Chain A
Amino acid sequence: KQEVTQIPAALSVPEGENLVLNCSFTDSAIYNLQWFRQDPGKGLTSLLLIQSSQREQTSGRLNASLDKSSGRSTLYIAASQPGDSATYLCAAGNTPLVFGKGTRLSVIA
């Protein structure tokens, strides 16, 4: 059964820092991996989707990598801003997606 782990559980950084969020999964036979953002009390915002055949995806200041062989993905956020403060969820699987518990990010101005 797929299990997804996210480290760290919480992270607080000053504005402008580059940061990395980590995600690991136990079953490498995934269809895709997605990173989501969730603001308090809100739904999910899809940030990046990496198909199993891909190694990374980029969108603006965000870059996500995927290493299926080691069961790991990272989300890199460049030049963090206070507006980036949210919970970031990693989800992996073969449909349905299995979610990690998330990393709560606070970017301090």
Chain B
Amino acid sequence: GAVVSQHPSWVICKSGTSVKIECRSLDFQATTMFWYRQFPKQSLMLMATSNEGSKATYEQGVEKDKFLINHASLTLSTLTVTSAHPEDSSFYICSASPRDKTQYFGPGTRLLVL
């Protein structure tokens, strides 16, 4: 149980385009979802927290107009990287949390912006 999926697993795009990443909790309802980013040889850094039906809370230094997060249902959250640039190339990992607050992590999405 407690499986979280992400789609796509990897994506290559041109600079200036937008990319959408989906995070789904497959067998539980996630009241809260989190988006992390990991640069090469670095640890995971929290980008934002989203609760179903409300606006996401972004961490300091994360541009909310560039990283659009939608948590429209209890099983789906999306992260859209708008007008992507090479410096946005990273490993994006989501996690989902049911009411017991335990976080379950997705397998990650590797983004390469050319």
By a beta-carbon cutoff of 8 Å, the part of chain A in contact with chain B is 31-32, 34, 36, 41-44, 46, 49, 89, 91, 94-102
Question: Is A102 in contact with B106, judged by CB distance below 8 angstroms?
Answer: no
Q: Which residues of A contact B32 (CB under 8 A)?
A: 95
Identify B95's interface contact among A89, A96, A100, A101, CB under 8 A: A96
Identify A43's interface contact among B42, B46, B93, B101, CB under 8 A: B93
Interface residues of B in 61-98 (CB under 8 A from A): 93, 95, 97
In the complex, A31 Cα to B100 Cα: how many Å? 10
Q: Which residues of A contact B45 (CB under 8 A)?
A: 99
Interface residues of B in 31-48 (CB under 8 A from A): 32, 34, 36, 42-46
Q: A32-B102, A43-B93, A100-B43 are in contact. List 8 more A-B contacts (CB 8 A).
A: A36-B105, A41-B110, A42-B107, A44-B93, A94-B101, A96-B46, A96-B49, A97-B95
In the complex, A34 Cα to B49 Cα: how many Å? 19
User: How many chain B residues touch the partner (CB < 8 A)?
Assistant: 20
A75: min CB distance to chain B, Å: 16
* With A43-B107, A95-B32: A101-B43 Cβ-Cβ less than 8 Å: yes
Q: Which residues of A contact B103 (CB under 8 A)?
A: 34, 95-97
* With A31-B101, A32-B102, A49-B102: A89-B44 Cβ-Cβ less than 8 Å: yes
Q: Which residues of B contact A32 (CB under 8 A)?
A: 101-102
Question: Is B43 in contact with A99, judged by CB distance below 8 angstroms?
Answer: yes
Q: Which residues of B contact A36 (CB under 8 A)?
A: 105
Chain B: CB-nearest residue to A100: B43
Q: Which residues of B contact A94 (CB under 8 A)?
A: 101
